[in-house]
Amino acid sequence: MTSNETDPILRLLAQLPTPATTANRNEQVRSKCHAAMARRDVPPSRSRPRRTPLARVLDIALIGTVCFYAAATLAEAIRFVRVL
């Protein structure tokens, strides 16, 4: 394993200047962040997308299929335990 003194990458990183921010730069970044958050806000009426009737039917069919599969699996497990 190499020590910190002999590692060239760590030596080069240590030679980098330290970042210095100004109040003006901080205010610019803050205002850009506030503007981006303001653009992202969604009105409450459009917060939840409307579901189509087909999507609802497909959801119900999927839930029914999963319930049927779970019931069949449970029945097979009970039948298997009775055989043992």
Span 9-68, pLDDT tens digits: 988 988 998 888 888 888 999 999 999 988 886 666 656 677 899 999 999 999 999 999
More confident residue, 22 or 4: 22
CA distance 31 to 8: 39
Claim: this prediction has a pTM higher than 0.85: no
CB 14 within 8 A of CB 8: no
More confident residue, 46 or 2: 46
Nearest to 35 by CA among 44, 27, 45: 27
pLDDT at position 69, please?
98
CB 37 within 8 A of CB 31: no
